[in-house]
């Protein structure tokens, strides 16, 4: 749900490359949380400073709630777009893992699951990405997170947005 973009908008040191858009690997390692034991996850988070990205709801619910920011989208009409983005932006191995793990089919889609997940799991700190496809999104990020370089964040979001809207 655009966590990689937000991460790199917050601090340009989290970005490895713009073309293609890639983050510093160490910051996104836990997106494939199922490859790690709880001990490895705790060790990883203990040595990190700043922000990192994870898709591990269970683990995030076990750590200090003040150290987790949940991304969600209050605009239910955007769920199909965000789900479609998942299918087109991720490796086929990750897509297959998600399809199998969630039991997705024509009657229960990723869009349905994303909505159910964010309705059921409500973390203490949440950030709404409803404006991610608008130029004003950078202001939302600035208000919620401490952006190191606002002009960088604005430029990066514009590059991302131009590519997403192609």
**Which two structure tokens, joined as six digits, stand for 72?**
């969600």
pTM of the model: 0.84
Contacts by 61-64, CB closer than 8 A, 24 or more apart: 61/121, 61/123, 62/38
**Which two structure tokens, joined as six digits, stand for 147?**
């952006």
- Give the pLDDT confidence score for residue 115 in this predicted structure: 93
| Helix, strand, coil share of the chain (percent; to 5) | 60, 10, 30
* CB of 38 closer than 8 Å to CB of 59: yes
- Quick: pLDDT tens for 5-37: 998 899 888 877 677 766 666 666 666 777 888
- Give the pLDDT confidence score for residue 140 in this predicted structure: 98
For a pLDDT cut of 70, what percent of the chain falls above it? Answer: 90
Q: Cα(20)–Cα(134) distance, rounded to whole angstroms?
A: 21
Q: Cα(29)–Cα(55) distance, rounded to whole angstroms?
A: 10
Residue 48 has pLDDT above 90, yes or no: no
CA separation (Å) from 146 to 23, 81, 99, 151, 159?
A: 18, 27, 35, 13, 21
**Extents of the domains making up the chain:** 3-164
């Amino acid at each position: 749900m655009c966590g990689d973009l937000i991460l790199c908008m917050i601090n340009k040191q989290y970005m490895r490359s713009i073309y293609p858009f890639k983050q510093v690997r160490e910051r996104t390692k836990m997106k494939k949380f199922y490859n790690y034991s709880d001990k490895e996850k705790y060790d990883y988070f203990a040595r990190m400073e700043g922000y990192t990205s994870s898709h591990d709801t269970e683990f995030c619910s076990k750590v200090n709630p003040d150290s987790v920011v949940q991304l969600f989208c209050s605009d239910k009409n955007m769920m199909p777009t965000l789900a479609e983005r998942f299918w087109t932006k991720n490796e086929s191995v990750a897509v297959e893992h998600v399809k199998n793990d969630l039991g997705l089919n024509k009657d229960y889609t990723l869009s349905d699951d994303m909505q159910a997940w964010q309705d059921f799991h409500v973390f203490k700190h949440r950030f709404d990405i409803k404006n991610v496809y608008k130029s004003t999104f950078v202001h939302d990020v600035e208000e919620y997170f401490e952006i190191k370089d606002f002009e960088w964040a604005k430029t990066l979001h514009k590059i991302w947005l131009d590519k997403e809207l192609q």
